[in-house]
Every structure is written in structure tokens, then in C-alpha cells.
Structure 1
């Protein structure tokens, strides 16, 4: 069962995705969460703190998905698990994917929060480290790991944006198969 705070965070996330930061209303969030307008202030002092916590929950959730990839024994396995866990994150938390990767007004708000801006860069750094390891291990061609990370993240963000917008198949089996087929095409071009 979700806590009141989690319900509020989910309602705030959904309202932000539909109305943007300027459209966030503590009253409307409270109404959606089925609590009184004053009760929301027991958990969050203002709209900015609430939105900060929404972003933090999104980044924390994504980090929890990625970090188990580090348990794999080879660079290739860590890289492929990173891709698999990213896919799982998007399938299980499409709204958080949209919040932290797609919405431009999320980036506008990050300007005011150094610690969140650092967290937002984590996925790029995580991908870049896995790519660098794969180059060192000989799985991927030698190249600029940061530029390759940009290429892969841009490709995957585009792919997942097509999925969350409803353009791609919606069944889990179909989207997983399509993701791995397109990923293998990319990997063929960058494999050593």
C-alpha cells in the first residue's frame, strides 16, 4: 500500500506532466490525492519542495534500476544489463522516464537545484563508464566514450519517447523484442 506522501508525489508528477511546472497546484494535487489542501503541507512546505521531491524520486528510481548492472562480471555483461535495466525502468515507470528525460521544463527547474542537476547527469556518466569499460575490454571499437554515450542515450530516449507516446507497440513482449532488434543494429556498428 502506498503512503500518503507517495500518493502525493505521484499525483504531483502526473499533474506536472499534463500542466507543466507553472500549472502545478497544491490544491489540485491534494484533491487528486483525496486529502485536504492543508494536509499536503504536512508533507511539503511548498510547490518547489514538492517538485524537488518528485524529481528526486524519479532519479532515485532510475538509479535503483541501473546499479545492479554493476554486479555483472564482464564489461560486456554490465553494458547489456544496463540496457536491459533501462528498458525495465521505462516499461515499469514510463511517467518517471518522461519526467526526467523528455520534459524540457524539468531541465528548466534543474537550474535551481545543484544536487538534482548532478543526479540528472548520472545516467550519462553511468553509460559512459560502461562504454569505456567495453572499449577497454575490446567489446566496442575505440572511440570517444562520451560521444558514443550521447549517441546511445539520444537513440534510446527517442525510442522510449515513441513508446510512451503510443507510436510503438504497447505490449511488453513486442516492445522488448523491437528494442533488442534495434539495439543489436546499433551494436553491430560500434562493436569491435
Structure 2
């Protein structure tokens, strides 16, 4: 039987999120994949190596979504496309999104710490760059780009986490997209300049684009 890496990653991600690191085993993973444990050991030496691969894949797909925003021609296009790409990843890949935000100590993939730290730093810089160029273009009020990017990032992650846990009254992803966008507009009233009205119109257009699929 041929075992595909993406099948192992998908099963490992689901198994970890349901059972945690203590309940994760190669035997359970093999059952989910539909093979024997010895067959899995031909691909991975241990469960820690499997989880490391899951974390690496989660970040790889996350950055693939985000960096699509670099195709934008202007600061406002890149800014709005980055927000849309973040939302699309969270909605289309909820398990991988959850893995990314699990504390390393809980995840148990200590061998992935260096790689994760590098990817997390790159993503943080990506958001800071989007904010800095919006400030330079006069769309955002002057301030510390890193602090403002953390504010925006925290706002997005907070709402998405609440939605994923079923704590909002919205019934569909489409309704949640509207709720999140309107909430973002309210936040931007404090962070944006008068010129941000142009960005608001751009965001409304981007919302009608087809979701990006990795």
C-alpha cells in the first residue's frame, strides 16, 4: 500500500488536536492512515518527528497563503489582500491554523523550535512591512509599525478563534466574513487616516474575490 505524506499530515493533525500529545501514538496514526505502524516507521522515526512535520507543513501553507498578497500593486492592495489571505487560510485550513497557534510546550514538538521560531519571525516581519508601507503611504496614522501590526493580528486571531469554537451567533462562513470585516472597519477608525476611506472601498471589492486555495 502506498502512503502519501499529505494523508499522514492530515491524520496526524486531526489526531493530535483530538487526543493531545499524550494520546498521540504511531499505532493510532497508522489506524487513521489505514496502514500498519511498521509501515509508518519507514517514513518517520518517532511521533515527535511526525508532529515536527505537521508544524512545518502548517507554516509552509500559511506563508503560501499570506505571500500571495505580495502580488498587489500598491500598499493598500497588499494590505487588504494580506487580510483576505489570512482569513482564507483560517477558514479553509482550520486544523493547520489551530496547530500554528498552539504553544510549543503543549504541542510537544521541541525539535521544531528553531524552524518554528524562524517562520514566526518571518510572518511577524511580513505584517510589520504591510503596516509600515501603509503608514508611509498616508493611510495609517504614524506610530510603531510592529505594535500596530500586533494589534491587527490580535484582533483577527481573536475573532477567528471565537468563531472556530462556536461562540458567535453567525451561522455561516459568509456571515462571519461580513462580521469580521465590519469589526475591522471599526478598529481602523482609530488607526487609519481620512485617506483610509479609499482602502475601505478596496476591501469591499476584495471581499468579492474567489478564496485562494493552496
Report the TM-score, using the length of structure 1 for normalisation: 0.92
Cα pair distance change 1:108/1:188, threshold 3 Å: farther
1:131-162 deviations in whole A, cap 9, x for unaligned?
Answer: 01101111100111111111111111111101
* Aligned equivalents of 1:107, 1:80: Cα separation in 2: 31
Structure 2 stretches lacking a partner, 5+ long: 194-214
1:10-89 correspondence runs (5 A): 10-89=10-89
- 8 A contact 1:135–1:141 mirrored in 2: yes
Cα distance change, pair 179–6 in 1 and its aligned pair in 2 (3 A): same
Alignment CA distance shift 1:27-1:153 (3 Å): same
CA pair 134-52 structure 1, distance change in 2 beyond 3 A: same
SS in 1 for 2:101: helix
Q: Contact 1:9–1:54 at 8 Å: present in 2 too?
A: yes
**3-state secondary structure, aligned to 1:42:** coil
**CA RMSD between the two structures:** 1.9
Between the aligned partners of 1:108 and 1:46, the Cα distance in structure 2 is 12
Return the alpha-carbon distance in structure 2 between the equivalents of residues 6 and 106 of structure 1.
23
Aligned residue in 2 for 1:129: 129
CA contact (8 A) 2:48 2:109 kept: no
Q: Is the 8 A contact 2:9 2:54 kept in 1?
A: yes
1:159 pairs with 2:166: no
CA distance in 2, matches of 1:102, 1:161: 12
| 2:172 corresponding residue in structure 1 | 171
1:116 is displaced (CA, Å) by 2.0
| Larger radius of gyration between Structure 1 and Structure 2 | 2
- Please identify, of 109-118 and 119-128, the stretch whose mean Cα deviation from structure 2 is larger: 109-118
In structure 1, stretches of 5+ residues that fail to align are: none
The structural deviation recorded for 1:130 is 0.3
* Structure 1 partner of 2:185: 184
Structure with bigger RCO (C-alpha 8 Å, 6+ apart): 2
1:98 is matched with 98
TM-score scaled by length of structure 2: 0.83
Q: What per-residue deviation string (whole Å, max 9, x for no partner) do you get for residues 18-59 of structure 1?
A: 222232211101111111111111221211211111001100
d(CA) in 2 for partners of 1:108, 1:140: 39
